[in-house]
Amino acid sequence: MKYPLILGFGIVALDVAVWRLRIPPNELVRLAIRLALFSALNWVLFSSGLSPFTQAPPESAAELHWLGQVLEIIWWLMGARLLTLSLDTLLLPKAWRRQRLFSDVFGAVVFLAAVVAALGFVLELPVRGLVATSGALAIVLGLAIQSTLSDVFAGIVLNTTEPYSVGDWVVIDDVEGKVVEMNWRATHLLTGEGNTLIVPNAVASKAKISNNSRPANVHGLSLVLEIDPEARPKTVLDALGRALTGCNVILDTPAPFARMKRTTLNSVQYEVVAFVDDMNKKLAVSNELFDLCYRHLAASDVTLRALGVAGPATTAPDAKEALLKRVTLFESLTADEVTRLAKRLSRHEYQADQQVLAPDTVPDSLSIVHSGVLSVRLSELAGDREIARIGPGEAFGEAGLLAGLAMHVSIATLTPSVLYQLGKDDMTSFLKDHPEVAKQMCQLLAYRQDRLGKLTTAIPSVQEKGQSVFQWLFEKVRHLHSLHNGS
């Protein structure tokens, strides 16, 4: 064969181009091409009298001899690399390939063996003495990097037992984060604050690990609340149970629960535990659940106790006034206006599974939830669908009471509930005395136009008449409650 060295180095250059340029993109096809190139290199070497297991034959020119030696050494390194890639691509599970630990360690062992073989076969160096010397050197080096070696072997244990994998949400030593990388030295976690936390494998292998991604569709969340010790435990637990019922995002199985956790000098700690089907929901559901607990506890006259601080002595506020102050619709009223309006509220009690509002009706009163949980359902072609749950401090029927808009939804109680209602006559009398309140309420209703469009009669296209939504609503309120034009 003429010019075997040129042909051999050309094959090597082509292999390097396929490797560096990642051509073609498919990994299996690229591996097949590189194996074909390695087979071609074998044919070139052995057909030209070159063998990676012996020294290159002496040539008339010393440069050709050394080029042959270099090509044989490249054969060993190229073979080591392809062996590592073949094992990584064809045999290792995808989870292990993402973590890169086994492929890196195995590649290092194979390359070390290839270097020793090249030194022994191609250069014919005394490998036995080199191995003995390297053994002593390895002992010294091992003592110097024993912590790093500990991370390597701990990483092998973690990859073998697989307590977590890339993409899982885990808690390691009370630090929660998403596993974004696992290598021979450490595990990289992306925390909730957006920071990268690096946990050495030796530390992770000894730590208590909580994997929030297993099982895949169940993720727990826990809230700890400090409650006034004078509050009766049954009252607190019932209120927390209603708060869990009021959150329709949490799973029914495993069942959520509330329990008394422990007592302190100034309070009693209660824990609320629930489960969601998506890790990304935990933050939003935790916030919603805490708000529900606060409202249901307030509805039961139970107050949260500041951590480690004795509660101040306070006088009990009027229940109706306290309820009105928690309603968004009346947050712009003054204290005197709240007091006057509270006197017009009437109390109504409902049992569980009792309908409060039928669909396609115009409410003649504004209902404010004092305690309990109510379900809002929308009738569709496929059947009724629950779209929301209502709890303490929330109101419904304001669109019908203020503007005469019909509600498209049905509302029924899920638990025994207490509602305070404000009738149309009482609202009319109040608005005549406080016409500015009507404008404030219409502004709020106009702001909630999207919700009105879904739950009540759709607002017509008032832009064609040159009116804003607020003007249209205010005209409806003024007409329905017989307010003077000057108002």
The strand order across the sheet containing 268-276 reads 219-227, 268-276, 257-263
32 and 125 assigned to the same domain? yes
- The residue assigned the tokens 């005209």 is 475
Q: Does residue 460 share a domain with residue 375? A: yes
Confidence tier at 314 by pLDDT (50, 70, 90): low
- Same structural domain, 10 and 107: yes
Nearest to 370 by CA among 405, 327, 419: 419
- The answer to whether 205 and 154 have CB atoms below 8 angstroms apart is yes
Residue 191 has pLDDT above 90, yes or no: no
Distance CA 270, CA 453 (A): 40
- Residue 154 is assigned to a structural domain of this protein: no
Domain boundary among 267, 299, 331: 299
Question: Residue range 209-233: average pLDDT?
Answer: 87
* Reported confidence tier of residue 173, pLDDT bands at 50, 70, 90: confident
Query: Cα–Cα distance between 111 and 113 in angstroms, integer?
Result: 5
Tokens of 319: 């229940």
- What would the two tokens of residue 3 be? 């010019």
Q: What is the predicted pLDDT for the residue at 289?
A: 95
For residue 143, what pLDDT band results from cuts at 50, 70 and 90?
low
Q: What share of the chain is helix, strand, coil (3-state, %, to 5)?
A: 50, 20, 30
Does the residue 158 lie in any domain?
no
Which residues does residue 177 pair with via DSSP β-bridges, in sequence order? 170, 191
Residue 310 domain-assigned?
no
> Per mean pLDDT, which of 269-273, 365-369, 438-442 is the most reliable?
269-273
What predicted TM-score, i.e. pTM, was given to this entire model? 0.57
Q: What is the mean pLDDT of the chain?
A: 82
CB 205 within 8 A of CB 156: no
Give mean pLDDT, residues 356-360. Answer: 90
pLDDT at 135: 60
In this structure, the answer to whether residues 205 and 237 fall within a common structural domain is no
Distance, CA of 131 to CA of 2 (rounded, Å) = 38
Q: Are residues 408 and 467 in the same domain?
A: yes
Domain-ending residue, one of 299, 330, 356? 299
Look up residue 362 and give its two tokens.
């115009």
Both 355 and 423 in one domain: the answer is yes
Residue 455: is its pLDDT beyond 60? no
Tell me, what CATH number does 466's domain have? 2.60.120.10
pLDDT (mean) for 114-126: 81
* Vertex 470: Cα angle to 464 and 471 (nearest 5): 65
> DSSP 3-state assignment of 258?
strand
- Whether residues 392 and 456 fall in one domain: yes
103 versus 200: the higher-pLDDT residue is 200
345 or 326: which carries more pLDDT confidence?
Answer: 345
Q: Which of 245-259, 382-396, 426-440 is the most confident on average?
A: 245-259
Same domain? For 247 and 198 the reply is no
Residue with the bigger pLDDT between 52 and 405: it is 52
What separation in angstroms does the CA of 21 have from each of 15, 16, 18, 74, 478? Answer: 10, 8, 6, 20, 74
The pLDDT of residue 463: 47
Q: Which residue has the higher pLDDT, 485 or 408?
A: 408
Q: How many CB atoms lie within 10 A of CB 368?
A: 26
Backbone angles phi, psi at 304, to 5 degrees: -75, 140
Query: 458 with 334, same domain?
Result: yes
Note the pLDDT of residue 122. 82
pLDDT value at residue 452? 47
Same domain, 367 and 396: yes
Beta bridge mates, 8: none
Closest CA to 298 of 313, 284, 316: 316
Average pLDDT over residues 330-347: 86
Name the least confident of 10-19, 286-295, 425-434. Answer: 425-434
Asked if residue 400 has pLDDT above 60, the reply is yes
Q: What is the mean pLDDT of residues 240-249?
A: 93
Beta strands in 243-324 (DSSP E): 257-263, 268-276
Tokens of 428: 């009319």
Of 125, 33, 40, 127, give the one whose Cα is nearest residue 75.
40
Are 24 and 50 members of one domain? yes
Whether 131 shows a pLDDT value over 70: the answer reads no
Q: Is residue 59 part of a domain?
A: yes
Q: 75 or 57, which is more confident?
A: 75
Confidence class for position 38, pLDDT limits 50, 70, 90 = very high
pLDDT band (50, 70, 90) for residue 434: confident
Which residue type occupies 27?
A: E
Question: Coil, helix or strand for 461?
Answer: coil
Residue 94's pLDDT band (cuts 50, 70, 90):
low
| Closest by CA position to 101, among listed 181, 171, 27, 22 | 181
Last residue of a domain, one of 264, 299, 334: 299
Domain that holds residue 381: 319-480
What's the CA gap between 73 and 64, in Å, rounded? 14
Nearest one of 441, 235, 438, 426 to 328, comparing CA atoms:
441
What CA–CA distance (Å, rounded) separates 433 from 452? 27
Tell whether 9 is covered by a domain. yes
- Tell me: pLDDT of 448 over 60: no
Q: What is 168-213 written as a DSSP string?
A: -EEEETTEEEEEEEE-SSEEEEEETTS-EEEEEHHHHHHS-EEETT
| pLDDT at position 469 | 66
How many domains does one find in the chain? 4
217 burial type by CB count under 10 A (0-12 exposed, 13-18 middle, 19+ buried):
exposed
If asked whether residues 177 and 232 sit together in one domain, one would say: no
Report phi then psi at 177, rounded to 5: -175, 170
